A = this chain, B = another copy of it.
Amino acid sequence: MAVSTDQRLRITYLVRCSGDENPEEKVGDIAYEQTVELPRGCAPAPIEERYPGRVEALDEEPDGRYRARISYDVAVLDHGLPQLLNVVFGNISMQTGIQVVHVEWPLQHMPGAPGPAFGVEGIRRIAQAPEGRPLICAALKPMGLTPRELADRCHALAAGGADVIKDDHGLCNQAPSPLADRVGVCQEAVARANAETGHHCAYFPNVTGRFGEIPSYVELVQKAGCQGVLVCPMIVGIDVMVWLAETSGLAVLAHPALTGMFFAPEHGILPEIFYGQLLRLAGADGVIYTNAGGRFPFSEETCVGINERLLEPLGDRRPAFPVPGGGINVARVTHWLERYGPDTMFLIGGSFYMQPDLRGGVAALRERIDRYVSEREAASES
């Protein structure tokens, strides 16, 4: 269960005790470390009673780790996601052998974690993609090109049949093509391709940048007529997504730069929880993660788990699109379709650019996906 029925924040950790560490003590310390941050018994009685976490269960696992469940009174939270993230993993990040493997969220006490403003349905509306059709997201790259060159690539990707084109996350304000110079021409190129083909591709520029400048980036994007943005939540702070979801009227695609640090073997936050729940709660309409079979180490099982968390019911928070990137091409896409189902947005970068004909590369993938969908529909009708 992902929602806390008694409105306590309930976190399950797998804890490795090394050397002279004692499991009861290590787990009990977590409950204090993440809240009052004092040795036991140092806080006034009414605080001691309510604010430290409560250890509800502690059992040894076959691998020698301890499964500990701690619940926290929502009084430790405020109205924002930053303090929530802090309670989930702030100070214990600096210890070792503590992995967050399950969370029950006290959703009614999490006004700062509103979930997607668009979600799966909203993104389908933008792309005019009916239920049952998986989406294609193309990465616009590389850095170093001029706005005109990038716009030409946008045109080709949109004309080929991409549903969403997102800036490469490393495409920022480098001299050849600052956001202010590229956003208008790229959006115009996508609109032109749409007019030519009848598609409804959307361009999502990258608004990852300096704290004081993000609002002006969002204005540029809105003025250019784009319908969404890309952002790297761990580079700019996770709450930027909440702010975007609540105020911008734009769809939000979360990029995983810097998030890999959470996924050490026995320390951190499970990818299923980080991508599948935290980023969704923070307002991502689509969550990019590194797909199995690409150049990053997630297993298919992990990816399926992320997808499930993004799409499953979670109180009144909307589902968000899983956006696996890496290892996806015409030859392999039906494998991923079988595994992940139609509510998937496939992110493709390199494999398009390895081909001489960018438009043709997208079109071939789109054709393969559409054929798969019609075959499935035909099969289910017969």
Give me the interface of A with B, judged by CB distance under 8 Å: 29, 33-39, 42-44, 46-47, 50-51, 75-83, 85-87, 89-96, 112, 139, 141-145, 149, 168-170, 172-176, 178, 208-214, 232, 234-240, 242-243, 247, 256-264, 267-268, 290, 295-297, 349-350, 353-354
Count this chain's copies in the assembly: 2
A211 B235 Cβ-Cβ under 8 A? no
Partner of A209, one of B47, B80, B268, B353: B80
Partner of A173, one of B78, B92, B170: B78
CB distance from A303 to the nearest CB of B (A): 13
Listed residue (A42, A172, A257) with the most chain B CB atoms within 10 angstroms of its CB: A257
Q: A47-B142, A260-B94 are in contact. Are A87 and B170 (CB under 8 A)?
A: yes
B232 A90 Cβ-Cβ under 8 A? yes
Partner of A47, one of B144, B261, B350: B144
B243 A210 Cβ-Cβ under 8 A? yes
Partner of A76, one of B170, B261, B297, B354: B170
Chain B contacts for A354, CB-based, 8 A: 39, 42
CB distance from A22 to the nearest CB of B (A): 13
The 9 sampled A-B contact pairs (Cβ below 8 Å) are A36-B143, A36-B144, A37-B350, A47-B143, A76-B174, A82-B172, A91-B169, A94-B296, A210-B239
Partner of A170, one of B83, B170, B213: B83
Chain B contacts for A29, CB-based, 8 A: 295
Grouping DSSP codes into helix (H, G, I), strand (E, B) and loop, the A interface class, with mixed when no group exceeds half, is loop
Q: Once the chains are docked, how many angstroms separate the CA of A86 from the CA of B258?
A: 7
Q: Once the chains are docked, how many angstroms separate the CA of A210 from the CA of B230?
A: 19
The 5 A-B residue pairs with the shortest CB-CB distance, nearest first, are A237-B237, A94-B260, A93-B260, A90-B257, A36-B142
Q: Once the chains are docked, how many angstroms separate the CA of A98 from the CA of B39?
A: 36
Chain B contacts for A36, CB-based, 8 A: 141-144, 170
Partner of A242, one of B43, B95, B170, B210: B210
Chain B contacts for A239, CB-based, 8 A: 209-211, 236
A258 B85 Cβ-Cβ under 8 A? yes
Q: Once the chains are docked, how many angstroms separate the CA of A172 from the CA of B16?
A: 30
